[in-house]
Structure formats: C-alpha cells, structure tokens
Homo-oligomer: A and B are copies of this chain.
C-alpha cells in the first residue's frame, strides 16, 4: 500500500467541534481528527486527500466536492443533528451512485449511516479504562492485510453488543474489551453501487488515529471501497418483445444420459 495511489480521490469529513472546545482532545489532535486521518492516508501513498468539516458552508460537501470524491471518510459525534438533511441526503445519494464510504466510531449515529442501514444503529458504550483488542475474523479480506492477528489499543471507549445494524455483508473485526464486552468492529455493506465500511475505533480523547495498525486498516479500506466501473444499473420500463408469446406448456422428448 505504500506506492502512490494517485487515481483515488479521498475526502475526510470531520465534525471538528471537540477539538475546538476540549483541550484534552486538542492535545491529542491539535490539527483536528481530519488532519490526523489525512496524514495517515498520505503516508500510505494516497496523493489526493482533502478534508471537509461541519462548520464550512454546506459542511464542505458541495455537489462539486462529492462529484470529485471517490471515497468519503466520516467522523462525527455530538453534532449529528447539525448536519443538514439536504447534505446528508446528498451524501447518501452519492454512495448509492458508487462513492465509497468509511464510517468511523461514533459516526454510527450519523444521519448518513442510519439512513443507509435502515435501523437504529444503537449500541452500548462506556468511557472507562478499557483496553480493546480488535481480532481479525476474516484474515484473507483485503481490509485486514498487514495488521497481524489482532490490533491492541491500550485505552479506548467501549462499544458493546447488541449493535443494531443489519447483518453485515462481511464481518472482519470483532473487538474484545477488558470490561467484559464484545463488538462487531469492522463490517462491510453494499448499498446501491457503493461500498461501505464501518470501523469502530477512534474516540476523540485517545490517540487511536495515530496508531499504525489503525492507519493501515483505514488505508486498506479506502482502497477496498473505491468505485468500480460498475455494470450499468438501468431501471424502469422494459419494452415488450414483439414476437415472443408465453412459452407453451413444456412437452418433452427422451434425452441421453449425462456423465457425472
């Protein structure tokens, strides 16, 4: 993943509120979570990485920005309600049209993710003194490349089951927490032409997005979620074949045996 990946255009979206209000957070992410994520992606060879944040006009996600984004990363937490319905719908539409989406941590409660899932996306949580281990349960999946059997984070917020999502298409990581819980931490979903990866870690008070293994997973996921030159998706009326009538009942004739 270290070779230049110039053809993939990434946009990192961040709520960017905690960092401006809480010194504990800005100590960990002085340039904001989005910059830490962008730095990690650039270090993995992605040459086109831009950022966008909630308090920019249209939250930084204009039609033009989205039209020029192949994969969008999303980090939000305490201001989900401040994301306008219009921009959320615009992002959802782009995903269905093929843009990849990586939803991080508390983004599980974002309008975008909940709309794409169709469920409540709720979970258990605790800010305590938990250690987390993300175990790989799908070792051959491209998103798990290069990270070993598990990723250990000395301290993280706990998320616990039941996680109210549809059955993921693929389950890649399951987290263990020292306080006694488990969580489906790395899940893929396809919606329309878009590929979605939900990845659990990244509470704002911990240096999770500086962790090399976490950065590796996110880089892998960006590559995995890239749009494919999809088979066309056409819908609507389909003309009647002029000549074809219903097939008649199917009379039969004897046939030779097949080798098997």
Task: List the interface of chain A (C-beta within 8 A of B).
Answer: 77-78, 80, 96, 98, 109, 115-120, 122-131, 133, 135-142, 144-149, 154-155, 158, 160-164, 166-167, 169-171, 174-182, 184, 189-195, 227-248, 250-260
Q: How far is the CA of A227 from the CA of B139 in the complex (A)?
A: 11
- Report which of B116, B128, B149, B178 forms a contact with A118, defined as CB distance below 8 A: B116
Distance (Å) between the CB of A223 and the closest chain B CB? 11
On whether A167 and B169 interact (CB within 8 A), knowing A119-B191, A126-B237, A241-B251, the answer reads yes
Interface of chain A: mostly helix, strand, loop or mixed: loop
Pairwise interchain contact A167-B170, C-beta atoms closer than 8 A: yes
Q: How far is the CA of A235 from the CA of B119 in the complex (A)?
A: 14
Chain B contacts of A193 at CB under 8 A? 139-140
Pairwise interchain contact B115-A179, C-beta atoms closer than 8 A: no
Chain B contacts of A244 at CB under 8 A? 129, 178-180, 247-248, 250
Q: How far is the CA of A242 from the CA of B128 in the complex (A)?
A: 10
Q: How far is the CA of A164 from the CA of B234 in the complex (A)?
A: 10
- Report which of B125, B175, B229, B230 forms a contact with A182, defined as CB distance below 8 A: B175
Give 15 CB contacts A-B under 8 Å. Answer: A78-B259, A96-B164, A98-B140, A109-B260, A137-B161, A137-B163, A148-B231, A155-B246, A161-B174, A176-B177, A176-B180, A178-B246, A178-B247, A237-B258, A241-B251
Pairwise interchain contact A135-B164, C-beta atoms closer than 8 A: no
Q: How far is the CA of A35 from the CA of B236 in the complex (A)?
A: 30
Q: How far is the CA of A190 from the CA of B117 in the complex (A)?
A: 11
Distance (Å) between the CB of A71 and the closest chain B CB? 13
